[in-house]
Amino acid sequence: MKKMTLRTLPALLLMAFSSAASASAFQLWEQSASGVGNAYAGSAAIADNASMAFYNPAGLTQLTGFQLSAGVAGVGPSYKFRDDGNSVGSGGSGGNGGNAGSWAAVPNAHFSWQLSPDWFVGFGISSPFGLATEYEDSSWIGRRQSLKSEVKTINYNPSLGYRVNDKVSLGFGVNYQTIDAELTTAVSSLNGDDAAWGWNAGALFTLSPAMRVGVSYRSPIKYTLTGTANGLSVKADVKLPDTFILSVWQQVSDRWEAMGDLSYTRWNTLKTLDVYRQDTGALLSGSETFNYRNAWRLAWGAAYLANDALKVKFGIAFDRTPTTNADRSARVPDNNRLWLSLGGQWKIGKASKVDLGYSYLYVRDPSINQSKLGTTLSGHYDASAHIVGVQYSTGF
């Protein structure tokens, strides 16, 4: 068995930030569970708790005093393979692998602090990317394509917001992000980790007391995993994508709010995962092919103020996959998905609130025809996902 082992992140942090993909490929929108109920529509414009800084640091200027927000989203994807009769596995046999998806937790914590009438600071810990697929049957017909695939990231994000005037606010943040990955098949195992820097920035435009428009950008982050393979020093470069968000929020009436979101993620930064010897630069066998294309996401949501303590949320979103039928992998059997979301927000006392949300993700059944190491995996997946989230926010 070929094996590459690199230094791992502290076990407690990795357990806390176990992740399963919910957006396209292995991007995670759940940086605040308060957005689950409206499918994260208006993410860069709503500005109702400290987690706003992840989606748009300019939104810090809408938060007075000291604000704290923390929560967790449970993500439960399901991936069940169905052989179409044309698969050729090792030895020509094997089952369908069972369900490769399982529940995982995506926690987050954010705070903001108003330094002066116009200056604000924030800090957040979250997990922007994550993946967890593991086939229940280690002798399944696609065991040379994938057995276990796990990617975990932890993002530390200090940010700064500045109110230029009553109409315009600007924001900027620095990101220190760690990654830990494990990719295994029946004949290989790869474990690697690294840490790298990135940045995010945004602007918030208050067009009227009842309408805000937000724009934000998160930079790509490039990692270089280094370690050993069979006693050799190796390295592997990975570049995770940048994302642009355009959001709008509007107070339609005393009781109704509406919000929308358009995001664009440049997944074409991820073509292959190649592992090289550091001394000679020779490419080792077992590289992974992705060939991702850029993808977009469109969301619409609304909220209804039922009474002074309860707000009801709902939303819908369409998330386009970056993968194609020709390059779909058993590690990430992704396809276009539709979000159907419902949630509620309860005020507790004068300055605290609790958000609960649920989303069902309908995933168009992905087809696969992946050849690797002399085997072919051909068929379809039955795919779907559930997301549940809870968030607590308070201010001082």
Cα separation of the two ends of the chain: 56
Q: Name the DSSP class of 317.
A: E
Nearest in space to 179 (alpha carbons), one of 156, 152, 155? 152
Does the structural domain 2-395 have CATH classification 2.40.160.60? Answer: yes
Give the pLDDT of the chain (396 residues) as one tens digit per residue. Answer: 334 333 433 333 444 445 565 667 789 998 888 999 999 999 999 999 999 999 999 999 999 999 999 999 999 999 999 998 878 866 556 789 999 998 999 999 999 999 999 999 999 999 999 988 999 998 899 998 999 998 899 999 999 999 999 999 999 999 999 998 888 888 887 778 899 999 999 999 999 999 999 999 999 999 988 776 666 677 888 999 999 999 999 999 999 999 999 999 999 999 888 888 888 888 877 678 889 999 999 999 999 999 999 999 999 999 999 998 889 999 999 999 999 999 999 999 888 999 999 999 999 999 999 888 788 899 999 999 999 999 999 998
- Token representation of residue 206: 């208050």
- CB 163 within 8 Å of CB 178: no
